[in-house]
Amino acid sequence: MYDRKQLKKKAEKARDKKAAIGPDIDLDEFDDAPVPHSYLADEDMCALPESDQKRLIMAGMDVTQKDRGGTYFQKDTEVIHCHSQQEGIEVIPIKKALEKHNWVEEYYWKLVAVDADKYTAAAELGLHDGYVIRALPGSRSIYPVQACLYLDKDGLQQNVHNLIIAEEGSELHIITGCSSSLHMKRGIHVGISEFFIKKDAKLSFTMIHNWAEDMVVRPRSVARVEEGGLFLNNYICMKPVRSLQMYPTSHLVGKDAIARFYSIIVGSPGSEYDIGGRIFLKKPGNRAEIIARMISNGAKIINRGHLIGEVPDIKAHLECRGLLLNGGLIHAIPELEGHVDGVEMSHEAAVGKIAQEEINYLMSRGLSQDEATSTIVRGFLSVDIPGLPPQLKAEIDKAIEESDKDVM
């Protein structure tokens, strides 16, 4: 078993360390004591109350597991379902992996620093569980693996650590939903994710957040993409949240490695989002793209984007568009850093309102003002994400369709 004494020691020192950005949260307000839940067999999953199932579906989790390559389901602090139904794809709870598989040491806390801030420290000191999803060399996932981190107990602090490993030449698609039950009001989710995309591997990771109004969310994630690898990172959040702060980072360390981040945020009144993406381009032929679409209905949204070109022959683009529909604030902070001659980097940011000209154009085709507006908003949110399997595209479209009802 992996001896984590050193890690714990480092974490202990960072127990009260404030994060570099985002409002500081007093973790003492939350309870991280384990909440027992019993394991669910396949048939039990389908017997979950309909209201729960509906919440889960909105976070991309299908209890019937149809068209899914595997499932990881954690409720509060317990793993309640975990299995893979696809050859070459492993889905293992991280606590079990830490106990049984020595290879986990090569990945655990290797990209995210355990002492980065109080949240990373808490995830080590009070680890509940999390998933290890690994695609063996050359394996191709036909259906996406689904992972769901569900909060049910009011006032809970959920500490999760995930490892996602796409071995050489593999292709892996993951849809992960984080959600809370209807009656749950307050809580904090701390989620560490480390992504390893090896030579010529392809990983698409689509995260759908579906929280409650008084939830605090602090994901911490870092990816490492080797030669010829592709990392597609999609993030969708259309539901209220008290405070969400994350700044996922990718390191492109092999030549021709590619990373693309797409995020879609619909911000509700009283919610505060501080999100962004940072990509380091370290080898020739690297490509990076960060694309964000944000709508504020009275939320405070800070969108950061940071591209760092360290060598010639790299291309990177940042695009950040915001619509203020109903008050609130959108603050776009795009950053480009070119360190040598021969980098090609660009950014495009726009914050504004729906163009009246577009509304009129659609009205002249017979749509009412409201229909025209919602058509434009839906179009604004539907970004084309190249390389996404059709099932995931359908999930994203469904989430947008759902949010449409709330936006209007």
Contact 196, 222 (CB under 8 A): no
Least distance between another protein and beta carbon 36 (Å): 46
What is the CA 315 to chain-centroid distance, rounded? 24
| The two three-digit tokens of residue 78, written as one number | 């317990």
Cβ proximity to another protein: between 188 and 372 the closer is: 372
Shortest approach of another protein to residue 360 CB, angstroms?
A: 6
Q: Hey, what are 371's tokens?
A: 């229909």
- Helix-helix angle 118-125:5-13, to 10 degrees: 140
Nearer to another protein, 311 or 367 (CB): 367
Shortest Å, Cβ 72 to another protein: 32
Q: Give the integer Cα–Cα distance in Å for 41 and 52.
A: 16
Return residues touching another protein (CB under 8 A): 355, 357-358, 360-369, 372, 375-376, 378-383
**What does DSSP assign to residue 19?**
P
- DSSP letters, 297-317, are SS-EEEEEEEEEE-SSSEEEE
Q: Among all chains, which residue has been given the structure tokens 């990177």?
A: 316
Which of 342/387 has CB closer to another protein?
387
In the bound complex, what is the minimum distance in angstroms from residue 328's beta carbon to another protein? 21
The Cα–Cα gap between 402 and 140 comes to: 31
| Cβ atoms within 10 Å, residue 282 | 18
Single-letter residue type at 200: D
Cα 376 from Cα 362, distance rounded (Å): 9
d(CA 284, CA 113): 27
End-to-end CA separation in angstroms for the chain: 53
The residue among 216 and 372 lying less far from another protein, judged by its C-beta, is 372
| 103 vs 361, beta carbon nearer another protein | 361
Min dist. Cβ of residue 383 to another protein (A): 7
Is the Cβ–Cβ distance between 281 and 314 less than 8 Å?
Answer: yes
Which residue lies nearer to another protein by CB, 112 or 383? 383
Q: β-strand 78-84 against 70-75: which pairing, if any?
A: antiparallel
Q: Which is nearer to another protein, 125 or 349 (CB)?
A: 349
Q: How far is the CB of 239 from another protein (least distance, A)?
A: 21
Cβ–Cβ contacts within 10 Å for residue 300, how many? Answer: 17
CA atoms within 13 A of residue 193's CA, in its CB half-sphere: 24
- Closest to another protein by CB, 125 vs 383, is 383
State which residue, 41 or 408, has the beta carbon closest to another protein.
408
Q: How far is the CB of 163 from another protein (least distance, A)?
A: 35
The DSSP secondary structure of 21-87, one letter per residue, reads SS----GGGSB----------HHHHHTS-HHHHHHHHHTT--TT-TT-SEEEEEETTEEEEEEE-ST
